[in-house]
Amino acid sequence: MVTLPKPKESSKPTFSQRRALFLGQDSDSIIKKFFGSSAMVAILVLGLITIFLFKEGAGFVQLYHKSLKEYRLSGLEYVDVLKEQRDGYTALTRYLNDVKADWINNLRAEGLPQSEINARVMSPEAKDFFFGYMRAGGELRGFVKKKMDLGITARDQHTTNENLRETLGNYTERIAAVSQPDFTFSDADRAKYAMRLREYSRKNTISDEISEAYGNRADAMQNGAEIEANDRGNFVVLLKDEYQDIERSIQPLDFSETIVPITEGQEEYRKLLGRLKGKLTAVIVSADAIDFENAKIDTRIARFKELNESYFNEFDNHLEKLANWDQAAPVSVWQALGAFIGGKDWVTASDQQDWYGLLPLLSGSLLISAIALFFAVPFGVGAAIYVNQIAGSIERNLIKPYIEFVSAIPSVVIGFFGVVVFGEAIRLLSQFDAMQWVPFFPVQERLNAFTAGCLLALMAIPTIFTLAEDAINNVPRHSKEASLAMGATPLQTTMRVIVPTSLSGIISAIMLGFGRVIGETMVVLLCAGNRIKIPDFTEGLGVYFEPVHTMTGIIAQEMGEVVHGSLHYRALFMVGIVLFFISLLINYSAQWVVKRYSKTGD
């Protein structure tokens, strides 16, 4: 029997030795407090970001409500109703110009010389038709322009008066502060006092001696002279004098009076539309004298006549809408909020009215996200299933790192790739003769929703792949072994046991991938085309190749150019709040799916 040596009496197990202390804390306590404090800091930072986001965006509804009220009171809303018929006529004019361009292109395709083309296009009959139609709307455009100028003048004067009254309020506070016996001149007060002394010196024509004294005192103040006893009183007098100048510059404005010249003349406007209809009808009849010698052009001319009939039929409804317009109709706060959520226009820096509608941005974001998920879901989930269940160790060690490496590529690099390479490649491919069977080819814009969506799919694949593979790994091993023991093949086990069991985790991965896509900024800003317009879904699949704008893109593009605290500034924060709630909903839904459909949970 082998006898083991006895341990020395002095040797003790490592865990029983006294631990080193730092500031009275052992290593376990330090690590615990470090991670606990880090978690608290993270929560605090997220809380501050949320508070800041809602604080800056909270004033939007109130400011937008005020803007819409002024829009109605000034009569600009009435002018926009007037503009409906002008815009309809403008759209018909563009359609006719497009027909003319199509006619010219067809003549060139037939091989006619330029002289012959000019002879046909500039014939007396063609000139009477094309140029006559364009000239017919001059009276309508002039009428609307006159009314619009009146509305803009009233609105601008109201805005100026409000700004001046706000300035008067600031002057009142300033005068009250300077009037206090313990008032001390700051550098800004000294500069303001010197400036007002010079202005008063130039305006004073009663006494040259007083004027010179004020000028000398201004120079002394600028050179750092000591404040004298009478300077505070003189400063108050000068501030009150400036207050009175500003007060006299405010022009009285009553919207109930300024609206009269805008809304009057409805009978005159009715007659104007009647004259316009007569002119356009006569011009359209002259088209019958032109022989286009092209069935396609003849079809478009027939369609043009139908569009004009529809345009004329809207006159009565348009006039009734003008007659029923009411300046005194209230504008509620809910209408302002609805104008943002359901608005179809995002127009800034307009000389008439700024509009902040979310729909063009939301629809653009969702369209690009749909394209991205269309490609990212099958590739990401498919790769996760293959790598985890089918691929060998060599393939797994090769494929997995490369997929995950994509997430390390900066988004701006992917965006540049889309601008320079991918978008141009799609546009050139669409111009090949072999691709002309596609209805919406050739593609005119290389930067569009499809380009941005494909690149976002590339960025979303690593997220979906990693989370989906983790979900597959969480499937209990005995489920796979039981399936194989019952005679199922590895592929049957994967598709009928592993994937259904991990489906909740896979769905959660897809939803988080969607959150990754809709929150991306740089790629959509560079590659989506940035056209603020609701996509035309009547184009079928062609809608995917239209330029769009997104919520993240508009914030990145315009935030650096807006005035702090302005309506535009707060509108961008409102877009950020919508993104916040979308991200919150996506993450909550992903967690709910995992808890609700998890087969390995409680």
Q: What is the pLDDT of residues 557-600, one digit of tens each?
A: 999 889 888 999 999 999 999 999 998 898 888 888 877 766 44
| Predicted pLDDT at 226 | 82
CA dihedral (486, 492, 493, 496) in degrees, to 10, reads -110
Give bridge partners of residue 529 from the DSSP assignment.
548
pLDDT digits (tens, 9 = 90+) for 117-133: 888 889 988 999 999 99
Instruction: Give 469's contacts (C-beta < 8 A, 6+ positions apart).
Output: 384, 387, 388, 400
Residues 371 and 450 sit within 8 Å (Cβ to Cβ): yes
| Predicted pLDDT at 30 | 64
Question: Among 32-36, 193-197, 281-285, 501-505, which is the least confidently predicted range?
Answer: 32-36
Closest CA to 574 of 222, 16, 60: 60
Could you give the CA distance from residue 130 to residue 92 in angstroms, rounded to a whole number?
11
Residues 563 and 470 sit within 8 Å (Cβ to Cβ): no
Angle 27-58/567-597 helices, nearest 10 degrees?
130
Q: Which two tokens stand for residue 1?
A: 């029997």
Q: Which two tokens stand for residue 589?
A: 């839904």
The secondary structure of 62-91 as a DSSP string is: HHHHHHHHHHHHTTHHHHHHHHHHHHHHHH
Q: Say whether pLDDT at 314 is over 50.
A: yes
Q: Say whether pLDDT at 168 is over 80.
A: yes
pLDDT digits (tens, 9 = 90+) for 524-562: 999 999 999 999 888 888 899 999 999 999 999 999 889
SS3 state at 346: strand
Q: What percent of the chain has a predicted confidence (pLDDT) above 70? A: 92
Query: H helices then E strands: how many in the chain?
Result: 27, 2
In words, the CATH class of domain 359-597 is mainly alpha
| Predicted pLDDT at 600 | 45
Closest CA to 555 of 514, 586, 525: 525
Give bridge partners of residue 548 from the DSSP assignment.
529
Q: Say whether pLDDT at 10 is over 90.
A: no
Q: Say whether pLDDT at 73 is over 60.
A: yes
- Taking only Cα atoms into account, the Rg of the chain, rounded to an integer number of angstroms, comes to 36
In the predicted model, what is the mean pLDDT of residues 404-432?
Answer: 89
Give the angle 377-379-380 at the CA atoms, nearest 5°.
65
In the predicted model, what is the mean pLDDT of residues 280-297?
Answer: 90
Residues 406 and 461 sit within 8 Å (Cβ to Cβ): yes
pLDDT digits (tens, 9 = 90+) for 322-372: 999 999 999 999 999 999 999 999 998 888 899 999 999 999 999 999 999
| Predicted pLDDT at 352 | 86
In the predicted model, what is the mean pLDDT of residues 143-172?
Answer: 93
In the predicted model, what is the mean pLDDT of residues 152-159?
Answer: 92
| Predicted pLDDT at 552 | 94
In the predicted model, what is the mean pLDDT of residues 216-232?
Answer: 81
Mean pLDDT over all residues of the chain?
A: 87
For the stretch 19-22, contacts whose Cβ atoms lie closer than 8 Å and that sit 24 or more positions apart, written own/partner, are none
Q: Which two tokens stand for residue 345?
A: 């226009």
In the predicted model, what is the mean pLDDT of residues 259-282?
Answer: 94
| Predicted pLDDT at 602 | 42
33 alpha-carbon distance from chain centroid? 43
Residues 86 and 140 sit within 8 Å (Cβ to Cβ): yes
Burial of 423 (0-12, 13-18, 19+ CB in 10 A): buried
Q: Which two tokens stand for residue 217?
A: 């005192």
The secondary structure of 172-184 as a DSSP string is: HHHHHHHTSTT--
Q: What is the largest CA-CA distance in the chain?
A: 129
- pLDDT confidence band for 264 (50 / 70 / 90): very high
Residues 277 and 315 sit within 8 Å (Cβ to Cβ): yes
Give bridge partners of residue 355 from the DSSP assignment.
347
Could you give the CA distance from residue 129 to residue 280 in angstroms, rounded to a whole number?
9
Q: Say whether pLDDT at 39 is over 80.
A: no
| Predicted pLDDT at 474 | 87
Q: Say whether pLDDT at 274 is over 90.
A: yes
Closest CA to 556 of 519, 530, 522, 593: 522
In the predicted model, what is the mean pLDDT of residues 377-381?
Answer: 94
Domain ranges of the chain: 27-58, 59-185+227-332, 359-597
Q: Which two tokens stand for residue 430?
A: 């669409």
Closest CA to 353 of 75, 30, 61: 75
In the predicted model, what is the mean pLDDT of residues 290-297?
Answer: 88
pLDDT digits (tens, 9 = 90+) for 389-408: 888 888 888 888 888 888 88
Instruction: Give 124's contacts (C-beta < 8 A, 6+ positions apart).
Output: none
Q: Say whether pLDDT at 20 is over 70.
A: no
Burial of 323 (0-12, 13-18, 19+ CB in 10 A): exposed
In the predicted model, what is the mean pLDDT of residues 90-111?
Answer: 92
Residues 572 and 559 sit within 8 Å (Cβ to Cβ): yes
| Predicted pLDDT at 207 | 64
Question: Among 3-17, 40-54, 219-233, which is the least confidently predicted range?
Answer: 3-17
Question: Among 160-164, 193-197, 317-321, which is the least confidently predicted range?
Answer: 193-197
Query: What pTM does this model have?
Result: 0.84
How many C-beta atoms lie closer than 10 Å to residue 6's C-beta?
6
| Predicted pLDDT at 477 | 86
Angle 60-73/333-341 helices, nearest 10 degrees?
100
Could you give the CA distance from residue 212 to residue 171 in angstroms, rounded to a whole number?
27
- 597-to-317, 339, 380, 508 alpha-carbon distances in Å: 55, 39, 21, 10
pLDDT digits (tens, 9 = 90+) for 441-494: 888 888 999 999 999 999 999 999 999 999 899 888 888 888 888 888 888 888
